[in-house]
Amino acid sequence: MKWIIDLARFYVRSFSGLNKYVWLLGLVMLINRSGTMIITFMSLYATEELCLSYTQAGIIMGAFGLGSILGSFIGGKLTDKINYYDIQWSSLTISGLIAFSMYFVRDFYPILFLVFAFSLTADTFRPANAIAVSTYAKKENITRSFSLMRLAINLGFTIGPAVGGVVAQHYGFKWIFVLEGATCLLAALALVSFLPKKHALKSHEESRSTDKGNKVIHDLVFIKFLIFTFLFAFCFFQLFTSVPLYMHDLWGYSTETIGYILSLNGLLIVMVEMPLITKVDGKRSNFRFIQLGCILLALSYLILIAPLNAIVIVLLFISIITFAEIFAMPFMMNFVITRPAKRRQGEYIALYSIAYGLSHITAPSVGLYIAENYNFIVLYSFIALLAFATAWGFYILSKSQIENA
């Protein structure tokens, strides 16, 4: 019994020492991500409610992905030029109003435009939020601060689709847009009510008085880092694209069962990430933990095609791929936020977000093409090999960084 109490105390302590404004930003993120419903249900809304074709639904989802990439890029640029405070509240406010407007639109081209506009404005928030977190976080707490943001995001993604599914089932798909818009505006209200703008203006003025540093295009280490990040994300996002189909086709799992299985990923992150990051942060370099994450990612896909009991495979796969995410992603963000000069942080974060955005677009199309034309064993063998190669790439990158230091 004592070890349970000690474990609980350590879990609580892992959240201590974080700046109160980091907690506030986490609350804003939680409110915002709790309304994540448009991306989750748009394809169903387009085909079932609007009677659009699968092709048209695919085009709409593609517009969402394109808007996300452009929004991340524009958000990074604007944050460097203006400040993280104004970009965050304006992004939340405008995207909320666009979400409300979708309630009144039922034709393909207006929906296509609004989905693109919503994604673009919503994702300008991400680079600004990351810079805000790095501004308030102490240097020794940066990784933990971003882990707190990830916890808020995962909690939000757990709440949003669950609530959205109930609302769509009982009240109709259109009310999803109202809820998404309301959470965006509520998050904006929380931001302007509790986060002092003077800190943002002071931080922006201080950054403008510093050296700009090298342009991203001249930072070859970071360019290579982005390539390996894209490869990592490409492998990881198979979890949400091809893996559900694999579980359904091979084991006959229902959509509901697969949903419960995937929710274990978010649950483990909430339970484990903060204490684990608290324990290991600073013990090794960022790249060492990222390499470990890539290796675990490769092992998870090898287990997925192993000749074992289905329940054993599922539990091992979800556990290992979650630890891969926990070890890699927070330390990737630590590297991204601490590498550039202050005046270029937005630009670096934007390109990092774009690497993930591109993997969102390519992972499902390439992964499902391989599965359809060959089989899932070939796909996951390829993914495992690619993840191992990515781990090696990060290792070579860390060696070159040490040699150039």
Read off the pLDDT of residues 88-121 as tens digits, 9 standing for 90 and up.
Answer: 999 999 999 999 999 898 888 999 999 899 989 9
Domain chopping of the chain, boundaries? 15-209, 213-405
Q: In whole angstroms, give the CA distance from residue 250 to residue 232.
A: 25
Predicted pLDDT at 293: 96
What is the CATH code for 15-209? 1.20.1250.20
Q: What is the model's pLDDT at position 200? A: 64
Q: Is 159 a residue whose pLDDT tops 90? A: no
Reply yes or no on whether the pLDDT at 405 is more than 50.
no
Q: How many CA atoms lie within 13 A of 319 on its CB side?
A: 7
What size, in residues, is the chain? Answer: 405
| Dihedral (CA of 364, 331, 338, 19) sign | positive
Cα–Cα dist 65/75, whole Å: 15
Same fold, 15-209 and 213-405: yes
Which pLDDT does position 404 carry in this prediction? 53
More confident site: 381 or 344: 381
Within 13 Å, how many C-alpha atoms sit on residue 20's CB side?
3
Q: What is the pLDDT of residues 114-158, one digit of tens each?
A: 989 998 998 899 888 888 888 888 878 888 888 888 888 888 877
Report the run of H or E that residue 319 belongs to, with start and end: helix 310-338
Helix axes 220-236, 310-338, angle to 10 degrees: 160
Nearest-angstrom CA–CA distance, 71 and 94: 13
* Alpha carbon distance 35, 156 (integer Å): 7
Average pLDDT across the chain, whole number: 84
Phi/psi of residue 230, nearest 5 degrees: -60, -45
Q: According to the model, what pLDDT value does residue 329 have?
A: 92
Q: Which amino acid, 233? A: A
The CATH number for 213-405, chosen from 1.20.1250.20, 3.40.50.11540, 1.25.40.80, 1.10.10.10, is: 1.20.1250.20
| DSSP 8-state assignment for residue 1 | -
Is there a contact between 123 and 353 (Cβ–Cβ < 8 Å)?
A: yes
Average pLDDT over residues 260-274: 83
Contact 100, 181 (CB under 8 A): yes
Which residues, 6 or more positions from 129, have their beta carbon under 8 angstroms from its beta carbon? 25, 28, 29, 84, 88, 149
SS3 assignment for 125-192? HHHHHHHHHHHHCCHHHHHHHHHHHHHHHHHHHHHHHHHHHHHHHHHCCHHHHHHHHHHHHHHHHHHH
Tell me the pLDDT band of 44, cut-offs 50, 70 and 90: confident
Let me know: does 149 contact 25? Beta carbons within 8 Å.
yes
Q: What share of the chain has pLDDT > 90, as a percent?
A: 28
Centre a 10 Å sphere on the Cβ of residue 206 and count the other Cβ atoms it contains. Answer: 12
- Mean pLDDT of the region 181-189: 92
What pLDDT was estimated at residue 254?
A: 78
Question: At a CB cut-off of 8 Å and minimum separation 6, what does 10 contact?
Answer: 275
Which residues contact residue 67 at a Cβ distance below 8 angstroms, ignoring those fewer than 6 apart? 115, 116, 117, 118, 119, 120, 123
Amino acid symbol at 331: F
Question: Which DSSP category does 103 fall into?
Answer: G
What pLDDT band is residue 212 in, cutting at 50, 70 and 90? Answer: low
Task: Classify 37 as helix, strand or coil.
Answer: coil
